């Protein structure tokens, strides 16, 4: 069974109304073949799904190691939904991966909007996905950064408050950042 089929089977095991439609949507927008970025993690065809698989595996491992009560559905939805915004976001022009100028902008909010068209998220799932970028998704970071354009999706204070009360969300960010830096390298 291919990695795509394994991921689809895992997602379809979720007992939630609309999950089949969400998986069909993921297929339609190119989730399983899209790169994960232009030059960072997963910057190759299929890099997005590889990133999500790596993230899921590390997140699951650490949740078990730390005896966190995170159900498998939540782990799957967050790992494979957090970057749904990137499906179709990048194109290969033959020489390199570049931004698809016709793709809508946004990150966590775009991912959440796409997911919530099909399934209802728990508050925990919504928070994990919303804050998965950590400081990189803050207004403050975007204002200071020379390499990114945008306004950010939340304040540093909002992130700090959320993480102080939702340790699983902070762990998810750590897992996302870790696999992005050390595992999802260009093949």
pLDDT in tens, 134-181: 988 887 777 665 555 567 888 999 999 999 999 999 999 999 999 988
Which tens digit of pLDDT belongs to each residue from 76-104?
A: 999 999 999 888 877 777 777 766 666 66
To 10 degrees, the CA torsion angle through 37, 6, 183, 58?
120
Q: Are strands 97-99 and 90-92 parallel, antiparallel or unpaired?
A: antiparallel
pTM equals 0.90
Residue 30 has a pLDDT of 93
Residue 177 has a pLDDT of 93
Exposure string for 3-13, b = 16+ CB within 10 A, e = fewer: eeeebbebbee
d(CA 141, CA 156): 8
- Single out the residue of 174, 187, 172 nearest to residue 46, CA to CA: 187
**Please, what sign has the CA dihedral across residues 121, 122, 126, 131?**
negative
Rg (CA), the chain: 16
Residue 37 has a pLDDT of 79
- The answer to whether 142 touches 150, Cβ cutoff 8 Å, is yes
d(CA 127, CA 144): 24
Q: Is the pLDDT of residue 62 over 70?
A: yes
Interacting residues of 94 by C-beta distance below 8 A, sequence separation 6+: none
């Amino acid at each position: 069974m291919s990695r795509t089929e394994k991921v689809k089977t895992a997602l379809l095991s979720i007992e939630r109304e609309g999950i089949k439609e969400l998986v069909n949507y993921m297929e339609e927008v190119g989730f399983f073949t899209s790169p994960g970025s232009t030059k960072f993690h997963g910057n190759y065809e299929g890099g997005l799904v590889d990133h999500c698989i790596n993230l899921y595996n590390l997140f699951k491992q650490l949740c078990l190691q730390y005896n966190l009560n995170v159900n498998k559905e939540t782990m799957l939805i967050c790992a494979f939904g957090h970057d749904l915004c990137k499906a179709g976001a990048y194109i290969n022009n033959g020489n390199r991966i570049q931004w698809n100028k016709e793709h809508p902008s946004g990150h966590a909010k775009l991912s959440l909007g796409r997911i919530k068209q099909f399934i209802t998220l728990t508050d925990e799932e919504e928070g994990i996905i919303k804050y998965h970028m950590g400081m990189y998704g803050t207004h403050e970071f975007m204002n200071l950064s020379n390499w990114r354009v945008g306004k950010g999706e939340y304040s540093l204070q909002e992130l700090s408050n959320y993480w102080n009360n939702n340790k699983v969300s902070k762990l998810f960010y750590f897992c996302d950042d870790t696999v992005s830096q050390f595992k999802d390298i260009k093949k």
